[in-house]
Amino acid sequence: MTYAIIGSGAIGHAIATQFARQGIDVMVANSRGPSSLTDMARALGPNIKPATTGDVVHADVVILAIPFGAIQAFAGSTGADWNNRLVIDASNAVDFPAFKPADLGGRLSTEIVAEAFPGARVVKAFNTVPAAKLEAPPAQAGGRRVVVLSGDDGSARSQVAALIERLGYAALDLGTLRQASHLQQFGGTLVAQDLIKLA
């Protein structure tokens, strides 16, 4: 299984940090090219592999840690075959500068993301925990930090839950995108909450 993170901002860096802590190789790419990721790779260690966007789109699991508004352009530029591959949407659809949920005409942001990656199995995860908390060691206060997930493909959710657990977090499966929307989509109850699952 190969892993890749698109984006090296706060969320991308936080997730990459957990891959490095667990000794799991992950490719990381951004719009500025691999040379811009040298310092990040040096700081986090040899499991972080700077790559081009052309490289990372061939990974088995691709984590989208770029702004929601940039996802469709990224997807359209790749020319990759997404059929049956796993895409994890860590984005939030935010209307700036009001910092309110974007008006998507009643649609869910991850439904729109899924359309941009035809054939992919899309799961929403890593979007509710603030970046600083997401980057901290998952073991906290005698338990593990919770990462929630949702998606319309049950087997894909199971696969993402296993990855979340492997990274040291506690996975909480909220069900389908519609079942989880009032909890996980930006503006939902669980957004910006820091939950710990006790042992």
Residue 78's pLDDT is 86
Contact 49, 26 (CB under 8 A): yes
Q: Tell me the C-alpha distance between 179 and 18, whole Å.
A: 28
Residue 56 identity: V
| Residue whose C-alpha is closest to residue 61's, from 94, 10, 93, 15 | 15
Q: Strand locations in 14-164, DSSP E?
A: 26-29, 48-50, 61-64, 86-89, 94-95, 100-101, 121-125, 139-140, 143-151
Q: Name 51's Cβ contacts closer than 8 Å, sequence gap at least 6.
A: 4, 27, 28, 29, 34
| Residue whose C-alpha is closest to residue 137's, from 166, 160, 167 | 167
Q: How many CA atoms lie within 13 A of 180 on its CB side?
A: 25
Q: Tell me the C-alpha distance between 125 and 102, whole Å.
A: 18
Q: What is the pLDDT along the chain (199 residues), one digit of tens a residue?
A: 999 999 999 999 999 999 999 999 999 999 999 999 999 999 999 999 999 999 999 999 999 999 999 999 999 888 889 999 999 999 999 988 888 889 999 999 999 999 999 999 999 999 999 999 999 999 999 999 999 999 999 999 999 999 999 999 999 999 999 999 999 999 999 999 999 999 8
| Residue whose C-alpha is closest to residue 120's, from 58, 67, 27, 175 | 58
Residue 59's pLDDT is 96
- Angle ∠(102,52,29) on CA atoms, nearest 5: 45
The two structure tokens encoding residue 147: 């990462």
Rounded to two decimals, the pTM is 0.96
